[in-house]
Chains A and B, each alone.
Chain A
C-alpha cells in the first residue's frame, strides 16, 4: 500500500515536472553507433584467391552493418587488402528483409576479365555479408541485373563458400551437368509474394532445380506452388494460371525480357482474394529479375491483354514498353516485424506483421506496434500493456552500444502500478524480447520520463539493463 502511494506521488511529480505527451520527452528513435563483427574477404595479391580478415565494424548512425561491411570491402584501407570488385564499383542499392540481403552494385564489367573473376567477386561479397549476424542469404546483382556464371544463374548464396577456386569448380561442374540431356542443378532463388495485407512484397528463399534453358519455367512453377509462410504471404497464382511457357526475348533496344502469359482468370482470382493487381506485376518481375541472368524485365499478359501499368497504392504507374522492371517495385519489399504478445498464460507468443523493411527493423516502430496490441485478425494473443496505455506514452527509443533505452511517460508508469507480478513480467519481457530480436539490440533499459525508476510494480528491477528471456518465448 505504501509502495503504491509512493509510486502515485512519484508519478504525479513526474507529470508535473515534465509536460505530458509529445511536448517533452518525445525523443523518437535514435540508433547510435554500435559495433558489429564481420569477416571481410579481400582478394589476395596474386588475384586468384581470397583472404579473410575478421574486423569489428563501427556502424554509424543511420547505417546498417551490411552497408558498412560492403563499404569496407569495396574501399579497403591499408595496402595489404585488395577489393574483390573492380575499381569504381559502387553500391547502388541494398535491400534486407527477413535475413535475405539483395545487393545491387554498379560495376564496370569490362574490368572483369573472366567469369572466374566474376565468381571470385561474388564469393567475396557473399561470404562477407553472410558473416554478419542476421544475414541468411545474399543475392548479388550487378547493374540491376543478375549475371550468369558459366551460362547458368548463380542464384542466391546461402552458405559461405570454401574458397573462390572451389566455387568456380562447382559452377563449372554444374554447367557441364546441365549441358547434358536431363541434367539438372540446384540453385537458391528469392521468390516474392504479396503480403496478406496487400501492401508489400515479402521475399522467400526457395531451392529450385534448373536445367539449361528452363529456369523461367521453374520459377513460375515455384510461384504457382505458393508461399511457404501463408500467415504473412498470399498465394499469387494457382495451377493453370500460366497460359503458355515463359519465353525470353531480346527487345529492339537490346534488352532481354521474359514474356509471361497468364490466363485472364488470374485477375478474377486476385480480386477474389483481395490482392491488388499491382502486386502480381511486382512479385513476378522481382522474382524473375532477381534470379534469371541478364534479364532486364518482364512483360505480363493477362489473357490477351498486356499489363502496361499498375495502380500502386492509389498512384498510377505506366510501364515503359510494357516492360516491368525490378526497379519499379524494389521499394515495396517489406519486412516482417515480429512482436511478442501475451498468450494469456504468461508466455510470449510471436506475432508477425508486415511492414516496410526499414520499419520492420526499427525499434521505435516495433514498440509502437507492440503497444497498439493485437489486431482484429490476431486471435489467442492479448495486450501486454495495461488498459489506457497508448503509443503516445512511448516517448523514445535510443539504441547505443547494443542497449535500447526505452523511455515511457509518467502516465504509463501510473497505469502500471496495479499490475500483478505476472502481468508486470509479461509486459517488461514483451518489450525486451521484442526489441532484442532486432540486430543491434542486445539488452533493454526502461526509463520513465527519462529518469531511472526502481520498478514498475515491484517485481522487476529496472535499475539496470535487462537481457531477453528466451524461456518465455512460446513457439
Chain B
C-alpha cells in the first residue's frame, strides 16, 4: 500500500511540476510577446508627437495607455535620457537598462522579465515597482522611428506578477486535483489489491503451508472469479492429497501389520518348538505345517503388494489380445468348481452373450478368479454362487452373485481399499490378504472397465464387472 502511495505520489509530483513549468513558460512567453507588441504599438503611436516635441501630448497618451493597469511607460531620447515618464519620477535621468540600450543601439524590439531576488540592478530598483508582492517586472523596449532614424525608445514596464499569481493559483489547483486523483487511484488500487493480489497471496500462503506439510491447508476465496475457481481447484487438490496421504499412511500401517502378523506367528511356533523339553513329533508336524501356511500367506501378501506397486507405478504392462469373456469366465468357474463342491455351495455359470474384449487374458483370469473365489469364501454351506456373462449395449457385463453373509452398508464403499477387511478374523481364516479386490479393481480399471458391488447383509452380494466390447 505504501509502495503504491509512494509511486503515485512521485509520478503525480513529476507530472504536476512539469505541467506547471510548461504552463508557466507558455504564459510568460505569451505575456512577453503581447507586451512587446504593446510597446511597439505605443512607440508607433507616440512617434509623431515625440518627434514634434509635444511633451504634453506624449504624456497624455502614455498615461492613457497605462491607466488602470499596473504598468509604466518611459520615453527616452537618443541618449537614453527619460523625457516622458508616466510616473514623473525619472524625467531627466539616464535609464541604463539593457533593453533600452539594445533598442537605441539599433534593435527594433527587446524585452525581458526580471525577478526581484535581491541584488536587483540599480535601474530596476529605481523603477520602484518592487512593492510588496510584486516580484516580477517585465521591461519591453521599442524603437521610435522617424524617416528611418531612431529618434528614441519607448520602454513599457509591466507587472508580471499577475502571471506569477495566476501560476500559483494554477499550481494550487493542479496539486489539489492531482491529490484528489491520487486519492481515488489509491482507493482503486486498494480495491484492485483486494480483488487480485489478496487471492493470489491467499493461494500462495496455502501452497506454502502445504509445502510445509500441512495437507489440511485450504484457501478461502469467495466469488466467481478465476481466483475463486483456482482456490476451489486448490482445495480439491489438497483434499485429495490429504486423502491419499491418509490412505498411504493407513496402507503402510496395514501392510506393516499384515507382514508382521505371520512373522510373529512363525516366531511363536518356532520358539515353542525350540524350547520344547520333550520333542513331540505330532506337535512338530502341526507346528511346521502352520509355519508353512504362514510362509505361504506371507508370500501371498508380498506378491500382492508387488502387484499393486507395479500397477501404481504404471509398471504393469498389459498384453492385449482378443479375449472371449464367456470362455474365460467359464474356465475360472470350472477351476473353482471343486472348491465350491467342497464347501457345499452350488455354482452356476451362464454365458448369455458371447462377448469379446481387447485385454490381457492372464490379468482378466485373475480378476474373475478372485471375484468368484471371494463369492465362494463368503457363502456358507448350502448357498449358491451364480455367474452371468451378458451384453449390455456396447459393454460386456459379468455378474457374480452369491447368497453369502453380505457386506454391511458402511463397509461397502471401502471393500476395494487395500487391506480393508470387513471381518478380519474370517478373512484370516480364509487366507485373504485384504489386497485381492484392490488388485481386481486396478486391473478392471486398466481395461477401461468398472466394478461395483451391491450387498445386503445376510442375503448376499453381487459384484458387477463391466468391460468394453471390442
Contacts and interface: CB of A to CB of B under 8 A. Distances in A.
Interface of A: 402, 425, 428-429, 436, 442-443, 459-461, 463-472
The interface centre, meaning the residue of A460, A463, A464, A470 with most chain B CB atoms within 10 A of its CB, is A470
B88 A466 contact: no
A349 B85 CA distance: 19
Nearest to A469: B91
B86 A442 contact: no
Contact of B56 (A461, A463, A470): A470
B54 to A, nearest CB: 7
Given A442-B53, A470-B59, A460 B85 contact: no
A460 B90 CA distance: 9
The interface centre, meaning the residue of B58, B81, B86 with most chain A CB atoms within 10 A of its CB, is B81
A472 B83 CA distance: 12
Interface string B80-123: 01011111110111100000000000000000000000000000
A402 B54 CA distance: 11
B92 A428 contact: yes
Nearest to B78: A464
B93 A461 contact: yes
B84 A467 contact: yes
Contacts of B83: 466-467
Contacts of A425: 89, 91-92
Interface string B236-278: 0000000000000000000000000000000000000000000
B59 A463 contact: no
A461 B82 CA distance: 9
A459 B93 contact: yes
A469 B88 contact: yes
Contact of B92 (A466, A470, A471): A466
7 contacts: A402-B53, A443-B55, A464-B79, A467-B53, A467-B55, A470-B88, A471-B87
A464 B91 CA distance: 13
Contacts of B94: 461
B356 interface: no
Given A467-B84, A471-B85, A460 B92 contact: yes
Contact of B55 (A428, A460, A469): A469
Contacts of B63: 471
Given A464-B81, A465-B77, A469-B84, 11 more contacts: A429-B92, A442-B53, A466-B81, A467-B83, A470-B56, A470-B59, A470-B60, A471-B86, A471-B87, A471-B88, A472-B88
Contacts of A468: 55-56
B90 to A, nearest CB: 9
A402 B53 CA distance: 9
The interface centre, meaning the residue of B87, B88, B94 with most chain A CB atoms within 10 A of its CB, is B88
Nearest to B86: A471
A467 B92 CA distance: 8
B72 to A, nearest CB: 11
A185 to B, nearest CB: 36
A472 B86 CA distance: 10
B87 to A, nearest CB: 7
Given A459-B92, A463-B79, A442 B87 contact: no
Given A425-B92, A429-B92, A471 B59 contact: yes
Contacts of B86: 471
B446 to A, nearest CB: 116
Nearest to A459: B93
A467 B75 CA distance: 11
Given A436-B55, A470-B59, A471-B59, A461 B81 contact: yes
A403 B81 CA distance: 16
Given A436-B55, A442-B53, A470-B56, A464 B77 contact: yes
Contacts of A471: 59, 63, 85-88, 91
B221 to A, nearest CB: 83
Contacts of A464: 77-79, 81
The interface centre, meaning the residue of A466, A467, A468 with most chain B CB atoms within 10 A of its CB, is A467
Interface string B43-54: 000000000111
A459 to B, nearest CB: 6
A466 B79 contact: no
Contacts of A402: 53
A460 B53 contact: no
A459 B91 CA distance: 10
A183 to B, nearest CB: 42
Nearest to B50: A467
Contacts of A436: 55
B92 A461 contact: yes
Given A425-B92, A459-B93, A461-B92, A470 B55 contact: yes
Contacts of A465: 77
Given A469-B85, A470-B59, A442 B91 contact: no
A467 B58 CA distance: 10
Given A464-B81, A470-B59, A429 B93 contact: no
The interface centre, meaning the residue of A464, A465, A471 with most chain B CB atoms within 10 A of its CB, is A471
Nearest to A441: B53
A461 B92 CA distance: 6
A461 B77 CA distance: 12
A100 to B, nearest CB: 21
A436 B53 CA distance: 10
A425 B78 CA distance: 20
A442 B88 contact: no
A428 B58 CA distance: 20
B85 A442 contact: no
Contacts of B77: 464-465
B53 A466 contact: no
